[in-house]
Amino acid sequence: MPFQRSARRGSTYLPDSTAMLNSRKWFDRMQPQTLQIATWLLYINGFFALADLLDGGGVLSYFRYRYTFGFVLGLLVVAAHVAGPFLMANERRVGWQLSVAAAAAPIVMNFVAYSQIGASWRLRIIGSSLISFAFDVAVLALLLHTQSREHQRIWYH
C-alpha cells in the first residue's frame, strides 16, 4: 500500500522511502567519518569541476569543446557532485550511488580524454595532476570503504 490515509479527511502521507527531502540538510554529522569526509570532498570537487567546465583548463573543458553534448555532460558531472552528497545527507541510497558515480567520473573522463589524444599510459591513468588524481582516488576509497558501505546498506532508504 503506497499511501495511507491519516485521521484527517483527505490528507495522505508518504512512507519514509519517498518522504520529502530536507533542503536545509547538506551535511549529516551522524554519518561515519568516512562518509563525512567524502561529503565535504565531493562538494569541494563539485566547485572545482564547475570552475573547470566554465574556465576551460581541464578535462571537462576538453569534452565541452570536443563534443556537442560536452557542456551538458559537464553539467551532469557537476550536478552529481552536489546532488550525491546532498541526498546522502538526507539518508538516500541513490545519493550514495550517485556519489560513487561522481567520484569515479574524473578518473574515467581522464582516461577517455587522454586515450583519444594518444597520450602515454601514465597520463591516461593519472591525468595531468598527481594531486588531483590522489584526491579522486581518496574520495572513491572513502565511499567504497567498509564503514561507508555498511552504513548506507543499513541506514539509507
Summarize pLDDT for 102-125 with one digit per residue, the tens. Answer: 999 999 999 999 999 999 999 999
3-state secondary structure of 19: coil
Q: What is the pTM of this model?
A: 0.84
| d(C-alpha 93, C-alpha 156), whole Å | 5
| d(C-alpha 40, C-alpha 88), whole Å | 11
Average pLDDT, integer, range 1-6: 47
Q: Are 36 and 27 in contact (CB under 8 A)?
A: yes
Locate 127 and state its grid cell. 591525468
| d(C-alpha 152, C-alpha 157), whole Å | 8
| d(C-alpha 9, C-alpha 5), whole Å | 8
Locate 48 and state its grid cell. 572545482
